[in-house]
Structure 1
Amino acid sequence: MAKKTTFLSLILLFFTMGFAVAAGEGGMPVLPPAPVSLSEKLQFITNSYVMVWIAVGVIVLFCRAGAGKLTMVPKGFQNFAEWVIESLFNFFAGILGDHLAKRTFWFFGATFLLIIISNYLGLIPGVGTMGWGMDSHGHFAQPLLRGGNADVNMTAAMAFTFALLWFYWAITENGLKGFLAHIFAPKGKFGGLMVVVMAFIFFVVGVLEVISIAIRPIALSFRLYGNIYGGEQTLETLMALGGKWLAFLPALPMYPIKLLVGGVQALVFTLLCAVFLKLICEHDHDEEHGEEH
């Protein structure tokens, strides 16, 4: 499923970029494939950078509003905020188990909220279509804002952050010896010559697993980036078909789909991360504690 999704995402990315080039040659607007710096002195402050911090601000306001006046019996916005957080925790606990979920929910919950809010902020009218520096076709060459996840730097940062945390969690849960054994050691009991044969086979499988682990951050990065950038480029091109005054009309039917895609992509990114962690931490702490008691 993960490989199929990655393949389809890459196809969407290449198709969209090719479509964008063709559209640009025909006079339609093309979203820049790279973020635009908003400051000559501070080059790292880009239009996608600003959108990510706006998304962070929305999350902070959400948390402040939900925890502003806590009561034993939640009501109003506190009730909604607790429902969101509890639903997310139960979802990841169903995959990881209570022990791992309690340990890692700070990352998975925050990442899910950051991705979905960034995706939805990118759908606000004006994002990617307002800016400065007209090109030869009369379109903005430098958008003031662009979707945070339409920048591969953002998606790569989240993916490689997870990769580092994956190693930390995997080693601390299994121990270094158990971590290496999980990848390279033969599974099952063998005797005689089969020990040597199976050791060699599982070593080769372990090497392939290491390659797979190395590819995961790249696949996670481009899956999310390809879907979000491709979707925004599609909306931009559709809006150009409506002219100056009816630009919203051709793109309007795409908005429900983009809302769905924004949520699904946030779910897919965090779900795959949770599954990758679960696969390396297969032992169940709850069962072990239950046997001790």
Structure 2
Amino acid sequence: MTYSIVGFDPVEKEWGVAVQSKFIGVGAVVPFAKANVGAIATQSYANTAYGPEALALMAEGKNAEDVLDLITGRDGKRELRQVGLIDKNGNPATFTGSECYSWAGGITGPYFAAQGNILVDERTVQAMADTFQNTEGSLSYRLVQALAAGQEAGGDSRGQQSAALLVVKENGGYGGYNDRYIDLRVDDHPKPIEELIRIYDLHQLYFAPSKKERVAEIEGEVENDLVAELTRLGYWTEDRSLQEALRAFIHTENFEMREQEDGYIDLDVLHYMKQQ
């Protein structure tokens, strides 16, 4: 009922899973990951014990193929299961049981494993594999683009319902207190991948650092636009300076990661204002 891709970024040391299914709340079932250990997607009559078991085995130093053999080897219903893994070094492995509903199968390549079941045909998995390998950008971006390509190629033969993206990185979580770098879920939606991409873009706006080329001095047209938007949104009043009004907007909307020194603004924040 599901297709997924697990991946690894050897430069940024990130591990992740992207998944879509005709199933409610797929993000609560399929993806598991731990920084400096690996990632796993368990699906098709999912055995959710595979997640913690595989991560524990990989934490001991076992590679993806060995872990796959161990977790499926002791499962009496393994022929109903499908699973993809990436270990701490980016070695991939995938398994599709003989009793998974067709079309079902998987592909591995450098730093990824893609798999799916009850698909229209094999093109969904191939599209995910091709897109992941040929797309530039962060691991999270490549994963969601791969998921979208899988859907465009055919996807789940029964339709869509939920999607999720999980990426882990050491101290990558909010405040640096855990490894949950990106953890986004769309539990029930007619177009869950499109919605996942929408909230992923918002996540990047809130938490990704500003790009130098998108930071501008508040003058000329930028200043005129800023005055108009802060006035329209009710932030610029007679008892506030323009800088105070901008700071109030940034702190109200949780854009602290995009806050610049006085006299400058991240143009992505200004663009967001215009969309409100």
Structure number with higher helix proportion: 1
TM-score past 0.5 threshold: no
TM-score, length of structure 1 as denominator length: 0.26
Q: TM-score by structure 2 length? A: 0.27
If each structure's strand is expressed as a fraction of its own residues, which one has the higher value?
2
